[in-house]
C-alpha cells in the first residue's frame, strides 16, 4: 500500500451505532404500510443502500414519496435519542487529525441527520470534508462520493483508505481506487471473512479502531 495521507469514514454502522434507529424505522414503516414487521436479516442486508432504492423494492405499490415520509418521520422524532458512538471511534477520528491525516466523511445519510449526529458528539470539526447524498448525483457503490471527497481534499486515490461496514462501502472504495477497510462490528456483514466476501473482500478487516494505524 502506498503512503496513506487520507482517511475517509462511513457514518452509519462505522462511526455511529445507528443500527437500532434504522431497524426501528424500518419496522415502523412496515407496520404503517403493511400492518406487519419484516424479518430483521432482510433489513440488515440493505444497510448502506440509498433509502429510495430500498423503499421502491420493498413497497413497489406505494409512491416512494409516501414511504419515505413514513420512514423519515420516525427518524426525525427518534434519531438523536437512539444513536451512540461505537467505542473508540471518536478517539480514532481525533487521533487521525492529530497525526496529520486528511479526514473525510462519506455517507449515504442525508446531511440533516448526519450533521445532527456529528454535532451531538462534537465530531464535526474533526472532518476536513463531509460528503452526503445532497452533494452527489450517484451514490455508493458508485465511486462518485469518494471522488468528490478526494477532489475537495486534494488527495490521490492511491494515498487514501475508507472505513466502512457494508458491501456498498467496500465496492465504492474499490471502484474509486482506494483501500477498503471493513470494521468487524458491522451488522450488515457480521462474522464475514475476506474469503467469504470473495471479489468484494475488503483490503483489511479491523477488530478495534486503533488497528487502523497498523495498516496505514
Q: Which residues are catalytic?
A: 10
Using alpha carbons only, give the angle 172, 23, 106 rounded to the nearest 5 degrees. Answer: 25
What is the CA angle 187-40-72, rounded to 5?
A: 90
Those residues with Cβ within 8 angstroms of residue 19's Cβ, 6 or more apart along the chain or in another chain: 13, 44, 47, 187
CA dist., res. 187 & res. 185, Å (int): 6
In degrees rounded to 5, what are phi and psi of residue 102?
-80, 140
* Angle between helix 167-176 and helix 144-153 axes, rounded to 10 deg: 60
Return the sign of the alpha-carbon dihedral for residues 138, 140, 142, 145: positive
Q: Which of 102, 92, 151 is nearest to 123 (CA)?
A: 92
The answer to whether 29 touches 74, Cβ cutoff 8 Å, is yes
Task: Give how far the C-alpha of residue 204 lies from the chain's centroid of Cα atoms, to the nearest Å.
Answer: 17
Preceding omega of 141 cis (within 30 degrees of 0): yes
Amino acid at each position: 500500500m502506498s503512503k496513506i495521507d487520507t482517511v475517509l469514514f462511513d457514518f452509519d454502522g462505522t462511526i455511529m451505532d445507528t443500527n437500532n434507529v434504522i431497524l426501528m424505522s424500518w419496522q415502523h414503516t412496515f407496520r404503517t404500510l403493511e400492518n406487519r414487521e419484516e424479518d430483521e436479516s432482510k433489513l440488515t442486508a440493505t444497510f448502506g443502500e440509498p433509502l429510495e432504492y430500498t423503499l421502491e423494492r420493498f413497497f413497489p405499490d406505494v409512491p416512494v414519496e409516501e414511504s419515505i415520509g413514513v420512514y423519515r418521520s420516525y427518524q426525525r422524532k427518534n434519531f438523536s435519542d437512539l444513536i451512540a458512538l461505537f467505542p473508540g471511534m471518536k478517539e480514532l477520528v481525533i487521533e487521525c487529525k492529530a497525526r496529520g491525516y486528511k479526514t473525510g466523511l462519506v455517507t449515504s445519510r442525508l446531511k440533516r441527520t448526519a450533521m445532527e449526529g456529528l454535532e451531538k458528539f462534537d465530531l464535526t470539526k474533526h472532518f476536513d470534508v463531509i460528503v452526503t447524498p445532497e452533494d452527489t448525483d450517484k451514490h455508493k457503490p458508485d465511486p462518485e462520493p469518494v471522488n468528490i471527497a478526494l477532489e475537495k481534499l486534494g488527495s490521490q486515490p492511491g494515498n487514501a483508505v475508507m472505513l466502512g461496514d457494508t458491501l456498498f462501502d467496500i465496492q465504492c472504495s474499490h471502484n474509486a481506487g482506494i483501500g477498503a477497510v471493513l470494521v468487524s462490528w458491522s451488522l450488515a456483514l457480521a462474522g464475514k471473512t475476506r474469503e467469504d466476501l470473495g471479489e468484494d473482500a475488503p483490503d483489511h478487516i479491523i477488530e478495534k479502531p486503533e488497528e487502523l494505524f497498523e495498516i496505514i
